[in-house]
Structure 1
Amino acid sequence: MLSFSAPWEMTSCPDSLMQHYQKTGAAKWLEGLIQQCGDDLYHFLLRQSDPVLAQDICQQTWLKVMEKRHNFRADSRFKTWLFSIARHTLLDELKRQQRWQSSLCPELLPEPATPQCWPEGRQQRFEQALRFLPFLQREALMLQLEGFSIEQIAGITSELEETVKSRLRYARRFLQSRLGESNE
């Protein structure tokens, strides 16, 4: 029996898909990019905002990819470029909604319950603690958990690598203090 695969399935690398999309503008290549990177992008944005805003920013990001496809440099990684667009779009929206300050200042949030009052599961406790991380630290940690290197995170956030390392260090310390564990 013959089986037909979508064009992007033959070109599994998002970088190659983007190069095809950049050259042709064909929807089939964009569809492949969305299938390969869409879930990761949404989950990153969800951890930085709420479900409605994350979905909205996802859609805006893909529209910007369509509009700016000619700006993509073939010597860079597509996923890094994509997350950079998403990050800037999210920050612009948070500023527009005047939510940026509360995202930066965890002291404006209510004090979390003690770890003993958190749900039983380790993952649930981790998710609860993430909500109270300062935005920039949470962002760096989420990007690292998405598999980005320090260098790539610095590129996405337009920060120095040392700044990214500091944010990750502070995020880990915060999570360790909230979770009461020394190995997370």
Structure 2
Amino acid sequence: MDNNKKISDWFEQYGNDIYHFLIYRIGPTDAEDLLQEVFIKALRGFNSYQEKSNPKTWLFSIARNVAVDEVRKRKVRKWMSHIPLEKTNEPETTISPQSILDHEEEHQTIYRAIKLLKSNYQDVIILRGIKELSIAETADVLKWSKSKVRSTQHRARIALHEALRRCNDNEETRS
């Protein structure tokens, strides 16, 4: 199978997961462009891909690096903002408008709380908690030991809990 076909197959298999990772890391505005960049980099670097790791973890590693580069570019341009997640599913007609609003507000609060964490914590929360990668897969993506993934995940959960509390406190004071 040629490189283009493999990358195309991987896009079909993993593109949605990579896209959601990018949304959580940098926001929905640029996620589609960065998704394309991830797979272009994968195609260009395919010859350096060593089949020691799962292609999914290799692609997540590329996505993480692309996201880090994007954040750096934004810091240089000084316009990093917190953009709420876009709705991805059409609501069913049996769901009330209030429940849709509550669900969207919950997603926005979680997104804001994750954005308050330092980048290593963001990566672990997104990869383990949201994308449900195993500890081994997360270690491959982040190029960490499994024990570092476990300990960082533990600290990240504590930090996320605190960030969620702060976000909720801020929302209550605004009301």
Same fold at TM > 0.5: yes
Distance 1:96 1:84 in 2: 18
Q: Which residue of 2 aligns with 1:81?
A: 58
Considering Cα pairs closer than 8 Å and 6+ residues apart, tell me whether 1 or 2 has the greater RCO. 2
Unaligned runs of 5+ in 1: 1-19, 104-108, 110-118
Moved more, 67-76 or 43-52: 67-76
Which residue is 1:25 aligned to? Answer: 3
Give the TM-score taking structure 2 as reference length. Answer: 0.67
> In structure 1, what is the equivalent of residue 140 of structure 2?
155
Name the aligned partner's letter for residue 53 of structure 2.
Answer: S
| Per-residue deviation, 1:93 | 2.8
| Unaligned residue ranges in structure 2 (runs of 5+) | 83-100, 166-175
Question: 2:114 is matched with which residue?
Answer: 130
**CA–CA separation in structure 2 for the residues paired with 1:178 and 1:50:** 18
Kindly state the Cα deviation for residue 124 of structure 1 after the two structures are TM-superposed: 4.7
Determine the C-alpha separation between the residues in 2 that align with 1:151 and 1:178: 27
Alignment of 1:14-93 (within 5 A): 20=1, 24-27=2-5, 29-93=6-70
SS, match of residue 144 in structure 2: coil
Amino acid at match of 2:63: A
Check 1:102–1:130 CA distance in 2 against 1; reply closer, same or farther (3 A cut): farther
CA shift digits 1:105-144 (9 cap, x unpaired): xxxx9xxxxxxxxx74454543342232222101111111
Distance in 1 between the 2:64 and 2:163 partners? 26
What do the CA deviations read for 1:15-43 (whole angstroms, capped 9, x no partner)? Answer: xxxxx3xxx2344x433221111111010
Q: How many residues align?
A: 142
Q: Distance in 2 between matches of 1:102 and 1:158?
A: 29
Quote the RMSD (CA, aligned, Å): 2.8
Structure 1 range deviating more: 42-51 or 66-75: 66-75
Q: C-alpha offsets along residues 29-60 of structure 1, whole Å, 9 cap, x if unaligned?
A: 43322111111101001100122332222111
Determine the structure 2 residue equivalent to 1:164. Answer: 149
Cα distance in 2 for partners of 1:43, 1:64 equals 18
Q: Give the structure 1 partner of residue 124 of structure 2.
A: 140
